[in-house]
Structure 1
Amino acid sequence: MRLNPRWLGLAATVLLAVSGFLAGKPLPHDAAWVTGVCVWFVALLMLARAWWGLRESTRPREVLVTAAIWAAPLLVAPPMGALDVYAYACQGQLFDAGLNLYEHGPSALPCTWLSDVPPLWRDTPTPYGPLWFAISGGVAWLAHGHLIVAVGLFRLVAVLGLVLCVAAAHRLTDGNAALAASPLVLIHVVSGVHNDILLAGFVLAGFAFATRGRSGLSGVAFGLGAAIKVTAVVAAPFAVLLLLFRTNGLCRRAPISFTATAAGAYVLLAAATGHGIGFLGALGSTAQLKQWLSIPTGVGMAAGYVLRAAGRPAAFDTAVAVARAAGFVALAAILLALWWRALRTARRAPGEAADPVLTGAGLALLATAVLGPVFYAWYALAGIAVLAGTHLTGRLRTGVHVAVVALPFLTLPDSLGLATKTKLPGAFLDVALVAVVVYRFVRRRGGTAVPAER
């Protein structure tokens, strides 16, 4: 007898909720915590199996109903996979108190819910944008000291961001609605309440407007996205291509309108909140974290371990810093290559450019996530959401489907990451991955440059 994926997924999210109550907060590793973690992984496997059977569905309404059913148990469970929502709530209190969030962490007030914030973030300024500060401040004001109310309101914001993603993806193409029910979304949006989904929603809306030549509205959407997280600017040049090359000819004014409205939206929010471009200084607030999920950091860690073995332990941090710098150089080259490829497509076939341009933007956002100094599973949300607005096919489709199933396994319900427990093997795994990519690139270039003899 074959089990219906819808009910298998519901059973999985019920078990996930149970694991959240058992091991949702960092506690001593007692029997309840161990049980909760075991339930967590069993439930993730069940959810992955259920979603895998649903992923090819061509009935968006049925998929979205299933997503709502699966999400219901998580809406009443504690946040799982990460506890950033508690930091969001404290940031809202700091904002309401008139403190500069680019200079102060939650302990500066101190926040009412400081004990719920992971120690790492208690003294850490935040790199988010002014719109997110305004949202956080509004949530903290409405919650009036009640943490459960604050979490519920942030969940409402996250779900609205997801709805915006689904609506914009549907306007762009038929959209891949199944991704809205994926384990990545359920764990890190519905449960973990990460603001990356709101960033993704604004970026997708910006692309939806761009495909229709609405340069002003597209610019406003991207400005709002950047006012959540500055990552939105990575995708903005791809929107410019859609606006510049239209089926009815070259439109030179559109990029100017786009840039002016995007900048205007951000500046107005910055002025209204009193938070301008201070995020530039706060962007390095997580740089002290060293985990191998960031490929450059992992490569640097591997080099550091070798140097330690050679009797030079002090060189570990230097190796990581050099590798991260190399990662930024590689990222710049990748972003330029993706944009150049999208430019050539847009110039050659303006009427058919939306899919390849959006694919380039999605890959650019993913590259920015994994080649940055620090990577968490939810950083992939924006790139995957943009790819969901395209007609995914072939290896890329398979890769996205594997990613949304596999990424939730990197965290535990109490927000501890498996990367912190696997630093040594993970670092050398990154080295092997980079070696494979470089080998395949060199082989492909060599094969292209030198035709094979007959």
Structure 2
Amino acid sequence: MLQQRPLRTAGQATRGVTGSCLVLVGGLGVSTLPPSSPLLRSGVLDVIRGAQAGRMSALVLVLVGLALLASAWLALCWHVALTGGEDRRDALDLVRFSAMVWCAPLVLAPPLFSRDGWSYAAQGMLARVGLSPYDHGPSALLDGRTATLPDPYRLQGGAPIVQAVDPMWADTPTPYGPLHVLLGEVGAGLTGNPWVLVVGHRLVALAGLVMLAWAVPRLAAWTGVDPALASALVLPSPLMMANGVGGLHNDLLMVGLMAVALVVGVERHWAWGAAVGALAAAVKLPGGLVCIGVALASLPAGVALVTRVRRLAAVAGLALAVLLGLGVVTGLGHGWVEALMVPGMITTPLSLTSLAGGVLDWAVALLGADLPPATFMRIARGLGLVAMGAVAVGVALRWPTGEREAAVAAVGMVAAAFVLLCPVVHLWYFLVLPPFLATLRLGRTAVSALIAVSVTLGMVAPLDSSLHGAYYAIVVACMTLAVLLPVLLLTRRARDRIDRIASSRWLVLQQSPPSR
């Protein structure tokens, strides 16, 4: 019982906070910062960042901090799995409290493991000064003197708002929806300080975490899964802490809105679900996939195909109207639709279709075939998009209707198809999966895999594109991970703990209540 283990729960909270603090301190040594930042004039930080040994030490500090967070999370999940009876409500409060205090040190951190947060700040400023971020990249904020400098010096020599933006995206429009840009524009109207704007964007991302804290227990109650354990698997996980909170990606706000859309669409009315689903798409387009689950759950069981198609069309029509209406009301327009191909400019190793196509291109090149570059990669990416659409259509037309648990599974299925088949996949794309997978009645092996993947994707966050070309850092990070990951996942004690969480007798509480 929770009352009998106060010291243990206090130790978990302290360990998690310590880990977050180490990530914050280490992140200051390895993250990209605007050259004009006052912190860089502090002396000590400048020395650490200017020396190879200092940067490598900071990187190890980040990894140790992430390991402490992962260890605290596993202990928290184990603790919740052992909690039964009336203490389950206290367990849910403990999970929410842990997520809150573990996030707190990261609120003031710079964008970690990616420069996207700095781009968010610049895109908001573009909208604030009357330049559409759907027509211009952050480089449009440069003055005439710095605009003529070669990359990356033109950004570093420009105004603070653009100094830390990744040169790769300096001239590209944003593919994000009008709600994301509007929030950035509001922030830019209050301050031009990029670090303050980054903190503002992180608070917006944390609003998504608050939405998940509200929605996940309700989704779990539909499916008969313990709300406390489902929340523990989602809210304070290493995947969430490293990529959603530390990495400062708008995927966290998107998935929070998706979870809320499914809940209100089922428990209130499908029109509310469609409207909130449109808001999720107005942050990032894949958020609109939740509308499939809203439509299916709002129908009676066993309806005719024509009735199903009508409801799907109604939900899609309302969501599209809200999405396009936001572009008109905000004055931002719909240029983000044309910019959706911007992320596809790069190749990421987590994209299965890009990886398969790249291997085929390499193989035919070895055989001496005279084909244009990336021929098979383009074909594989195209097939992946077709398969993604086929999965979405198949789920929409053939998945059971009138069942809340089936609706959660439907959203999980189409979200998984997106992550697995998308031409470009980053670590933070996986944030869309846990809220829907952790609330399903999964088997022991599947839950164990979810735990292992959450730990791994959180721990490897520093190895994302932010380290491209930094070979010493990559080697140091890999060597450190080779020590930490087995301790967290493969030792006998670790395997026993994960198995105990995955086989918790409190995982399935009761049958899901009938849909309205």
TM-score range, shorter chain: 0.7 to 0.9
| Corresponding residue to 1:190 among 237, 240, 245 | 245
Matched to 1:303, the amino acid is: L
SS class of match (2:267):
coil
Tell me whether 13-22 or 43-52 shows the greater mean CA deviation: 43-52
Please name the residue that 1:397 is paired with: 447
**Which amino acid in structure 1 is aligned with residue 189 of structure 2?**
W
Q: Superposition pairs for residues 33-432 of structure 1, below 5 Å? A: 33-56=55-78, 57=80, 58=88, 59-110=91-142, 112-142=160-190, 144-174=191-221, 175=227, 176-178=230-232, 179-245=234-300, 255=312, 258-311=315-368, 315-340=372-397, 343=399, 345-346=400-401, 350=402, 353-412=403-462, 416=466
Q: CA 1:420/1:18 → structure 2, altered by over 3 Å: closer, same or farther?
A: closer
Q: Does the 8 Å CA contact 1:292/1:419 hold for their aligned counterparts? A: no
Deviations 1:147-203, CA, capped at 9 Å, x for gaps: 221112111111111101221222333442111101111112222221111111221
Q: Does the 8 Å contact 1:204/1:389 carry over to 2? A: no
Aligned to 2:283, the other structure's residue is in SS state: coil
Query: CA–CA distance in 1 between the matches of 2:50 and 2:375?
Result: 34
Partner amino acid for 1:222? G
Q: Distance in 1 between matches of 2:181 and 2:432?
A: 19
For residue 253 of structure 1, report the CA deviation from its aligned partner. Answer: 7.6
1:376, distance to aligned residue in structure 2 (A): 0.6
2:13 counterpart (6, 23, 35): 6
Q: Contact between 1:308 and 1:316, CA under 8 Å: does it hold in 2?
A: no
Identity %: 28
Deviates more, 1:247-256 or 1:266-275: 247-256
Deviation at 1:413, TM superposition (A): 7.7
Structure 2: distance between partners of 1:400 and 1:420? 30
Structure 1 residues 22, 193: CA separation in 2 closer, same or farther (over 3 Å shift)?
A: same
Deviation of the 1:72 alpha carbon = 1.9
* 2:141 aligned partner, one-letter code: L
* Residue range with higher mean Cα deviation, 401-410 or 370-379: 401-410
Superposition deviation, residue 138 in structure 1: 0.6
Aligned CA distance change for structure 1 residues 2 and 100 (closer, same or farther; 3 Å): closer
Give the 3-state SS of the residue equivalent to 1:364 in structure 2: helix
RMSD over aligned Cα atoms: 2.9
TM-score by length of 2: 0.73
Distance 1:311 1:420, change over 3 A: farther
The one-letter amino acid paired with 2:329 is A
In 2, Cα distance between equivalents of 1:230 and 1:412: 26
- C-alpha separation between the residues in 1 aligned to 2:247 and 2:128? 23
Any idea what SS the aligned residue of 2:189 has?
helix
Residues 30-57 of structure 1, C-alpha deviations (whole Å, 9 max, x = no match): 2221111222222222322221222252
Deviation at 1:2, TM superposition (A): 8.3
Contact 2:257/2:277 (8 A) holds in 1: yes
Contact kept in structure 1, 2:96 and 2:213, CA below 8 Å: no
Please tell me the residue identity of whatever aligns with 1:194: H
What is the deviation of 1:297?
A: 0.4
Alignment gaps of 5+ in structure 2: 1-6, 34-48, 81-87, 143-158, 222-226, 475-516
Q: Counterpart of 2:278 in structure 1: which amino acid?
A: G
Query: Which sits farther off after the overlay, 111-120 or 23-32?
Result: 23-32
Bigger mean CA deviation after superposition, 402-411 or 332-341:
332-341
CA distance in 1, matches of 2:324, 2:376: 38
* Structure 1 residues 29 and 379, CA gap change in structure 2 (3 angstroms): farther
Provide the rounded CA distance (Å) in 2 between the counterparts of 1:414 and 1:304: 24
Going from structure 1 to structure 2, the CA distance change for 1:321 and 1:251 (only over 3 Å counts) comes to closer
- 1:289 and 1:12 mapped to 2: Cα distance? 32
Deviations along 1:379-428, one digit per CA (max 9) or x if unpaired, are 11123223344445444333322222111233328852579979xxxxxx
The amino acid across from 1:234 in the alignment is: L
Residue aligning to 1:447: none
Q: Which amino acid aligns with 2:166?
A: P
Compared with structure 1, are the counterparts of its residues 302 and 171 closer, same or farther at alpha carbon in structure 2 (3 Å cutoff)? same
**CA offset digits 1:311-346 (Å, max 9, x no partner):** 4586442121112112223323333444455x2x32
Structure 2 CA distance for aligned equivalents of residues 154 and 236 of structure 1: 26
**Residue-pair matches, total:** 414
CA distance in 2, matches of 1:338, 1:247: 14
Output the CA distance in 1 between the equivalents of 2:371 and 2:51: 33
| Structure 2 counterpart of 1:139, one-letter code | G
Segment of structure 1 superposing worse, 246-255 or 84-93? 246-255
Shift of 1:91: 0.2
SS in 2 for 1:245: coil
In terms of mean alpha carbon deviation, does 307-316 or 373-382 score higher? Answer: 307-316
3-state SS of paired residue (1:244): coil
2:349 maps to amino acid: W
Q: CA deviation at 1:270?
A: 0.9
Q: Check the 8 A contact 2:270/2:298 in 1, yes or no.
A: yes
What's the CA shift for 1:279?
2.3
What is the distance in 1 between the residues matched to 2:51 and 2:96? 37
Q: Which amino acid aligns with 1:52?
A: L
Alpha-carbon distance in structure 2 between the residues aligned to 1:360 and 1:401:
21
